[in-house]
Chains A and B, each alone.
Chain A
Amino acid sequence: MKRYPAFPTLIVIAASLYFLVPLYATFDFSLRMERGVLSFAAYRDVFQSDTFISTLTFSAVASLVAILLGALIIVPTAYWVRLKLPRVRPLVEFLTLLPLIIPPVVLVFGYMRIYGNNSFLPLTTTDPGTNLLLVIGYTVLSLPYMFRAVDNGMAAIDIATLTEAAESLGASRFAIIRRVIFPNVRSAIMAGAFLTFSISLGEFVMASLLNRPAFGPYLVQMGQDYAYQPAALAIMAFVVTWASMALMQVFATRKPGQRFLPRMPRLSTFAPRRVQS
Chain B
Amino acid sequence: MSFLTLESVSKSFGANTVVKEFDLGVRKGEFISFLGPSGCGKTTVLRMVAGFETPTSGAITIDGEDVTMLPANKRRIGMVFQAYALFPNMNVYDNVAFGLKINGMDNAAVDRRVRDMLDMIALGHLADRYPYQMSGGQQQRVALARALAPQPRVLLLDEPLSALDAKIRLSLREDIRKIQRELGITTVFVTHDQEEALSISDRVIVMNKGRADQMGTPSEIYNRPKTRFVAEFVGTLNMFDARVADAGANRLNLAGRDIALPSSSGAALRNGETVKLALRPEAFYLDAQRPDDVPLEGRVQHMGFHGSIIRAKVTVGEQTVTIDMFNQANVAMPSVGEPIKLYFSPADALVLAA
Contacts and interface: CB of A to CB of B under 8 A. Distances in A.
A103 interface: no
B90 A168 contact: no
Contact of A157 (B78, B88, B103): B88
A175 interface: yes
Contacts of B143: 165
B32 interface: no
Contact of A164 (B52, B98, B150): B52
Nearest to B72: A167
Nearest to B131: A256
A54 interface: no
Tell me the interface secondary structure of chain A in the complex. helix
**What is the size category of the interface that chain A forms with chain B?**
20 to 34
B328 interface: no
Contact of B102 (A157, A171, A186): A171
Contacts of A162: 85, 87
B76 A165 contact: no
Given A255-B132, A256-B130, A168 B89 contact: no
A169 B98 contact: yes
Contacts of A169: 73, 98-99, 102, 146-147, 150
Contact of B90 (A172, A175, A256): A256
Nearest to B149: A169
B50 A184 contact: no
A5 interface: no
B130 A168 contact: no
A256 B146 CA distance: 19
B50 A161 contact: no
A187 to B, nearest CB: 10
A257 interface: yes
Given A164-B52, A164-B72, A170 B150 contact: yes
A163 to B, nearest CB: 9
Nearest to A161: B85
A165 B85 contact: yes
A225 interface: no
A180 interface: yes
Size bracket of the B interface:
20 to 34
B347 to A, nearest CB: 47
A168 to B, nearest CB: 4
Contacts of B130: 255-257
A256 B133 CA distance: 10
A234 B79 CA distance: 56
Contacts of B103: 170
Contacts of A167: 51-52, 71-73
A168 B77 contact: yes
A183 interface: yes
B77 A165 contact: no
A50 interface: no
A180 B99 CA distance: 12
Given A162-B85, A165-B81, A165-B87, A172 B52 contact: no
Contacts of A158: 83, 85
Interface in B178-197: none
B98 A166 contact: yes
Nearest to A258: B130
A46 B89 CA distance: 43
B75 interface: yes
B91 interface: yes
Interface string B112-150: 000000000000000010101100000000010011001
Interface string A233-257: 0000000000000000000000111
B89 A180 contact: yes
A168 B147 contact: yes
A202 B143 CA distance: 48
A164 B50 CA distance: 9
A170 B102 contact: yes
Most buried by B among A157, A166, A170, A179: A170
B81 A161 contact: yes
B163 to A, nearest CB: 13
Nearest to A171: B102
B111 to A, nearest CB: 17
Contacts of A180: 87, 89
A175 B79 CA distance: 18
A236 B188 CA distance: 63
Listed residue (B73, B76, B83, B147) with the most chain A CB atoms within 10 angstroms of its CB: B73
B133 to A, nearest CB: 8
Contacts of B133: 257
A44 to B, nearest CB: 45
Interface string B166-206: 00000000000000000000000000000000000000000
B70 to A, nearest CB: 12
A166 B86 CA distance: 9
A6 to B, nearest CB: 42
A173 to B, nearest CB: 9
A165 B83 CA distance: 11
B78 A168 contact: yes
A105 B87 CA distance: 44
B50 A168 contact: yes
Interface of A: 157-158, 161-162, 164-172, 175, 179-180, 183-184, 186, 255-257
14 contacts: A157-B88, A165-B146, A168-B75, A168-B77, A168-B152, A169-B98, A169-B99, A169-B146, A170-B74, A170-B103, A171-B73, A180-B87, A180-B89, A256-B91
Given A158-B83, A164-B85, A168-B73, 8 more contacts: A157-B88, A162-B87, A167-B52, A168-B152, A171-B102, A186-B89, A256-B88, A257-B133
Interface of B: 50-52, 71-79, 81, 83, 85-91, 98-99, 102-103, 128, 130, 132-133, 143, 146-147, 150, 152
